[in-house]
Structures are given as C-alpha cells and as structure tokens.
Chains A and B, each alone.
Chain A
Amino acid sequence: GDSVTQMEGPVTLSEEAFLTINCTYTATGYPSLFWYVQYPGEGLQLLLKATKADDKGSNKGFEATYRKETTSFHLEKGSVQVSDSAVYFCALHKAAGNKLTFGGGTRVLVKP
C-alpha cells in the first residue's frame, strides 16, 4: 500500500539556520504531495502542496519540490524563526478513493 517516510526528529536548530526535513513516498500512480504543520495546541494545517512531478510548492518561506525520480518531497526553509517550532507532516493524496496518507511527523524546535 501507499506509505510516507519522514526523517525522525526532533530537529533542533538555532534561529536563522537552514532547515531540511526529508520525505520519501511509496505509491502507485501519480499522487499529490503535501506538507502539513501542527503548531503546539493546534490542529493540522496545510503548509504547501504539489500536484505533479517537478512542481514546487511554497508558503511562508518554506519550499518543497516534487521529485518523481527519487520519490521525494523534501521540505526546506532558508532561515528559520522561533515561531517555526512545530511538528511537520508529509502526506500524499490519491485521487482514486480521495485517500490522504501521512508520514510519522518530524518535530522541529528552533531556539533563539
């Protein structure tokens, strides 16, 4: 079945550092890919998405490129802030069945 694998956390960074969170997936067909973020005490919210190979999703300074050849969708941000401290989830969506599958999540802690 479909699956998503993320790097394990926690990832601890200093403010203004570069952030990368690795995400790879296994799926048949052509899924869409998402990054969701969960801030402390809040529900999941969509951060960015990409619907086809080589698409780049971006939002709030975060970027991720859909790489079909490596089945990856790594999340990057050039300069993190304390407010970026959260848990980040990579997910894939299959149009057939409208199914949304999540990775295990990566906790990021940004220190001032």
Chain B
Amino acid sequence: EAGVAQSPRYKIIEKRQSVAFWCNPISGHATLYWYQQILGQGPKLLIQFQNNGVVDDSQLPKDRFSAERLKGVDSTLKIQPAKLEDSAVYLCASSFQPGKAPEAFFGQGTRLTVV
C-alpha cells in the first residue's frame, strides 16, 4: 500500500514570496490533516478535511494561508505572502474514517525555510 505522498521535500523562499505544498493521501482515506511543526515543537493542526469539506481550520492563519482538497483526494496548502516565522516542516496525514482511535498515517513532510 502506498503511503502519504508529499512534495516538495524541501523549499527555500524569500519572505513575501508565495509557496504551495502538495499532498496525496492514502487511497480511500476520507480524513486529511495539515500540521505545522516548528523546530523543537510538536505538530500543530492547521486544517482538517473530511472528504472535500473543512472540519477544522481554527488555527489556520487565513490572511496568508489557504488550503483546498479537490474531489476529496489530493490537497494543496498555500502560503502567500510568507513570513520568516513560517519556517517549519509541513506535515500531511490521512486516516480512514472518523471514529474511535483511527490511525493517522503521515507523509515525510515538506521543510520550508523562509529567508
């Protein structure tokens, strides 16, 4: 079974530029999460999709971050314009269905450096 695919693995941009990250979850997984992991900290949820609908985006900085999940499959997270404090690893995860203790599968992440 293929895992969660993310691209690119690394990205370096200047502040005020824009950047986009792509995630392909495991086939058939209805729930998709985007997390931000700043160095030395735990993952922080940015946005959660159930199929192609947003379940939780309460911690997404909507003035600069946006995300979409087309047809309930692939997802894209965009930052525009980027700030220095956006430097982090962006993790995508997916799980099969809502319910008790579903396992979330994570991609390898995209490491973003804003200079």
User: A residues within 8 Å of B by Cβ?
Assistant: 4, 6, 32, 34, 36, 41-46, 49, 51, 89, 93, 95, 97-105
Find chain B residues with CB under 8 A from A45 CB. 106
> Does residue B91 face the partner (Cβ distance < 8 Å to A)?
yes
B 72-100 to A, binary, CB cutoff 8 A, 1 in contact else 0: 00000000000000000001010100111
> Does residue B109 face the partner (Cβ distance < 8 Å to A)?
yes
Find chain B residues with CB under 8 A from A89 CB. 42-43
User: How many A-B residue pairs lie within 8 Å, measured between CB atoms?
Assistant: 63
- With A43-B91, A46-B103 already in contact, the answer to whether A98 and B55 are too (CB < 8 A) is yes
Choose from A42, A46, A95, A100 the contact partner of B108 (Cβ within 8 Å): A42
Q: What separation, in Å, do the CA atoms of A93 and B104 have in the docked complex?
A: 10
Chain A nearest CB, measured from B10 CB (Å) = 12
Find chain B residues with CB under 8 A from A42 CB. 108
A43 touches B109 (CB 8 A): yes
Closest 9 CB pairs of A and B: A32-B101, A102-B42, A98-B98, A43-B106, A44-B106, A104-B42, A43-B108, A51-B101, A102-B43
Chain A nearest CB, measured from B61 CB (Å) = 18
B55 touches A97 (CB 8 A): yes
Q: What separation, in Å, do the CA atoms of A97 and B44 have in the docked complex?
A: 16
A104 touches B41 (CB 8 A): yes
Q: What separation, in Å, do the CA atoms of A52 and B31 have in the docked complex?
A: 23
Chain A nearest CB, measured from B64 CB (Å) = 23
- With A46-B104, A105-B41 already in contact, the answer to whether A99 and B48 are too (CB < 8 A) is yes
